Amino acid sequence: MAGYGDLPVVEGMRYACNGGKRLRAFLVMESARLHDVPDAVSVQAAAAIEALHAYSLVHDDLPCMDDDDLRRGQPTVHVKWDDATAVLVGDALQTMAFDLLAGMEAEADVRISLVSSLAKASGAQGMVLGQAQDIAAETAQVPLTLDQIMELQRNKTGALIRWSAEAGAVMGRADIAPLRAYAQALGLAFQIADDILDVEGDAQTAGKRLQKDAEAGKATFVSLLGLDAAKARAQDLVKEADAALSPYGGRAENLREAARFVISRDK
């Protein structure tokens, strides 16, 4: 992007990638360390998933989607610039993610596997599907059941979390099953924690508008299970995530800590 740094789209890309928990990047690099993949290699995949995730947030915040004006404590991209810039920022971040993976210092089959799996996880078989299911739920005559919400969140939130945790095993040419089981539990716990935060959280600390689901009358884990049961379910999922990591022993302690973090966070 040399020579184009003053364009709103480039400035917006930097702006959209600033801040956040970096959970997905963390999962990529920690899962890679379990398989002795050098940080210099895994950081490229970590940057790719952060770019992809940032794109999804920029588009999700648009007036035609969730219509949010605050993200990570700052004005959303379409508020700071305009809708067209936000669309282009998201488009550019999405394509940059695949460019980063294609240029990794890894064997061709590993790069192809990461590109292909991220395309599935982020597209109409994963995150985009979840977004579409979420939009449809807003106008549905009958609220979603618990099973339907779990399916929606496996796509909308869980797909990119799964890709992130599995990426290390892909780079290390190892079995992805333990990390997939870990990520499935982690992703669901993450979403339950989000639903709890939407009820109990502080908007200033969270850096975004809260209680949107209740205002929209949407079914959530909290509305269907109740607050206490939702918290108990999140705790059970952390235990499931912990158990899934047993093949790695003490080497996976940072991933175990991440599972505990997702249900104790305040933003």
pLDDT digits (tens, 9 = 90+) for 154-180: 999 999 999 999 999 999 999 999 999
Q: Does some domain include residue 1?
A: no
pLDDT band at 214 (very low <50, low <70, confident <90, very high): low
Q: What pLDDT is attached to residue 169?
A: 98
Q: Does some domain include residue 70?
A: yes
pLDDT surpassing 80 at residue 37? yes
Instruction: Give bridge partners of residue 70 from the DSSP assignment.
Output: 75
Q: Does some domain include residue 152?
A: yes
Q: Does some domain include residue 33?
A: yes
Q: What pLDDT is attached to residue 224?
A: 93
Tally of structural domains, the chain: 1
CATH number, residue 61? 1.10.600.10
Q: Does some domain include residue 146?
A: yes
Alpha-carbon distance of 232 to 165, in angstroms, equals: 24
Length of the chain, in residues: 267
Q: Does some domain include residue 267?
A: no
- Residue 180 belongs to what domain range? 8-262
Neighbours of 260 (CB within 10 A): 14
Alpha-carbon distance of 243 to 14, in angstroms, equals: 38
Q: What pLDDT is attached to residue 210?
A: 64
Q: What pLDDT is attached to residue 206?
A: 62
pLDDT surpassing 80 at residue 208? no
pLDDT band at 263 (very low <50, low <70, confident <90, very high): very high
pLDDT band at 202 (very low <50, low <70, confident <90, very high): confident
pTM for this predicted structure? 0.92
Q: What pLDDT is attached to residue 267?
A: 74
Alpha-carbon distance of 177 to 154, in angstroms, equals: 16
pLDDT surpassing 60 at residue 222? yes
Q: What pLDDT is attached to residue 255?
A: 98
Q: Span 49-70, mean pLDDT?
A: 96
Q: Span 206-213, mean pLDDT?
A: 67
Nearest residue to 12 via CA among 71, 66, 67 = 71
pLDDT band at 41 (very low <50, low <70, confident <90, very high): very high
Q: Does some domain include residue 27?
A: yes
